[in-house]
Every structure is written in structure tokens, then in C-alpha cells.
Amino acid sequence: MSTAARRRRRPRYTLKESALGLALLAPSIVVFVAFFYRPFLNLLHWGRFESRRNGAYFEYVGLDQYREQLTSEDFREGLWHSVQFVLYTVPPGIVLGVLLAVTAHRKLKGIKVFQAIFSSTLASSVAVTSVVFFYFFNDTVGLFKVDWLENPDWAMFAVGLSSIWQNLGLSFVIVLAGLQTVPDEVLEAATLDGYGPTRRLLRVTLPLISPVLLFLVVVLVIFGLQAFAQVDLLTKGGPVSATETLVYKINRLNRPDNIGIGAVYSVGLFFITLAVTTTQFALLDRRVHYAR
């Protein structure tokens, strides 16, 4: 933030201006209340009840259920699997996205075709991607004929691969858009200063697109923490529970007999995501350069 912006005093609004502001915000407030805040309050509410007799009735247990479930072996396993999934997908996803975008960011005839191809994974659904990867890995009819999806040590990695591919289009498009904002003259200046292609990328290009990279890290981490469909389609959380991420567990618990625990897990995941994202902004923001 510039010093000028920091010094700027908070403007005073008249009643009429405030009313207009609220009116303009109303549609989004309504949507957020209906689909986010109210369900979230419901979750907090359900988290304090324990199911009895397969959900025939519920008993109020208060915050004890939060304390018990958030420290349980099962929750910790789910959290670890989610973290594993994020580690498998985010760093390689960003590196590949940057490499692909740098490769395709050239003034060449027909480069638009390649740019369209590289971004196309953005348009394919998780279901399609998962089916494709399912057949890649199938150990009898598959392309690679490996048993990764059946092997507890490899299953998460295999699911991660499909997600990396799935997210590559997004990373590519976002990094490419970032690259297009880097002024040619700055790169030319770097060339004349003696910077080779690698140094130019690491010392000039990447710092200049750092806001875009920060955005990508945050989005991909959230995607990773929320990944569900690929797990459901490829492994159903298995083998054993090797790919049961937090979200997958929440889905499994989303039945009348366990709805209280599911609610606790959901609230737990929400605050974990919030904490991770806030930390990312705090840590990375200092290293991000916002051009003005």
C-alpha cells in the first residue's frame, strides 16, 4: 500500500449514500446469507448434537463433540491425506504451469492453437479426467498397466497426477495472462544487462508476475483441500483408507447417523482452509511485488 493510501482518511457517507451502497450490495448479501452464512450456522448447530439410534433422535452434547472429533485418529488421518494431496498437486502444478506458459508465450505463427490446447484441461470435467486416468492406470486394460490405484502407497500419488493434469489448464491460462503483462522493454533491458534466459525468468519475469503466482498458490491449495470427485471416481477413498481426504470423510459421514460428526469435520476443514489461506497471504504477500 502506498503511503498516500495509508494516510487517506476514511470518507464520511451521507445516509443516502449508505443506503445506495447497501442496496447495491444487497443481491450478493442475499446470496451469501442463503448459501453460505445460514448453512454455516446450521453446521455449527448440528456439530453440538450426537446421533442416537441411527439418527432417530439427536442428543445435545455441546462442544464436547468438537473436542472429541477434531482430535480423533480419523480426523487426523483425513487431514494428513488432504495435506499429502495438496503437496502432491500444488508445487508440481505451478512449476508445470509456468514452464508450459513460458514455452507458449512466444510470437509464433499458430501459437494460439497451442495455447488453446494447453488450456483445454480447464474445460474438461473432473469426471472425464478421472475416467481417462482410471484407464491409464488400470492394470489389465490400461495404457500404463500399473497397480497404483490399488496400491495404498501409490494411490494418492496417482489421484494427484490426475489433478495436476486437471488443473494444468488453469495454471497455464493464469500464468500466461501474467506473462503478457510483463513489459518487453524490461526483458530487453535484462538481456542487455547480461541476463540469460533462466536468470531472466527467475530474477525478472517471476517476480513481476508474483501476484498471479500468489493467486494461483491460494486457489490450488483450496482446490486441493476440497478435492472430492477425483477421489470418489478413482479410488472411493481406498485402498483401505489411503486416499480418504477430509472432504471424502465428510461425505462419508454425511448420513443421519453421523451428521453431527460430519458437521464437526466440516467446521474443522473450514477453519483449516481459512488459516492456511490467511497464512499464505501473510507469508507470501511480503515477497509479492504489486506493480503500480
Q: Cα–Cα distances in Å, from 156 out to 95, 122, 153, 235, 280?
A: 20, 22, 7, 9, 24
Collapse the DSSP code of 19 into the 3-class scheme (helix H, G, I; strand E, B; otherwise coil) and give the result.
helix
Collapse the DSSP code of 102 into the 3-class scheme (helix H, G, I; strand E, B; otherwise coil) and give the result.
helix
Given the complex with other proteins, which of 12 and 106 has the nearer CB atom?
106
Residue type, 58: F
b or e along 229-262 (b: 16 or more beta carbons within 10 Å of the residue's beta carbon)? bbbbbbbebebebbbbbbbbbbbbbeeeebbbbb
Taking the complex as a whole, the smallest distance from the CB of residue 214 to other proteins amounts, in Å, to 13
Taking the complex as a whole, the smallest distance from the CB of residue 111 to other proteins amounts, in Å, to 17
- Bridge partner residues of 49 (DSSP): 60
Collapse the DSSP code of 58 into the 3-class scheme (helix H, G, I; strand E, B; otherwise coil) and give the result.
strand
Q: How far is CA 5 from the centre of its chain?
A: 31
Cell numbers placing 124: 474438461
Given the complex with other proteins, which of 4 and 23 has the nearer CB atom?
4
Taking the complex as a whole, the smallest distance from the CB of residue 101 to other proteins amounts, in Å, to 19
Given the complex with other proteins, which of 61 and 182 has the nearer CB atom?
182
Q: Which alpha helices (DSSP H) does the chain contain, by range?
A: 3-7, 15-32, 38-46, 64-70, 73-104, 111-119, 126-137, 155-179, 184-192, 197-199, 206-208, 210-226, 229-234, 246-253, 259-285
Given the complex with other proteins, which of 17 and 188 has the nearer CB atom?
188
Distance between CA atoms of residues 120 and 112, nearest Å: 12
Taking the complex as a whole, the smallest distance from the CB of residue 174 to other proteins amounts, in Å, to 19
Given the complex with other proteins, which of 204 and 233 has the nearer CB atom?
204
Taking the complex as a whole, the smallest distance from the CB of residue 74 to other proteins amounts, in Å, to 45
Cell numbers placing 102: 513460458
Distance between CA atoms of residues 95 and 206, nearest Å: 11
Residue type, 26: A
Taking the complex as a whole, the smallest distance from the CB of residue 195 to other proteins amounts, in Å, to 6
**Chain positions contacting other proteins, by CB under 8 A:** 2, 183, 185-186, 188-196, 199, 204, 207-208, 210, 289, 291-292
**CB-CB contact of 245 with 81 (8 Å):** yes
Given the complex with other proteins, which of 59 and 188 has the nearer CB atom?
188
Taking the complex as a whole, the smallest distance from the CB of residue 292 to other proteins amounts, in Å, to 5
Given the complex with other proteins, which of 53 and 107 has the nearer CB atom?
107
Given the complex with other proteins, which of 145 and 289 has the nearer CB atom?
289
Taking the complex as a whole, the smallest distance from the CB of residue 200 to other proteins amounts, in Å, to 10
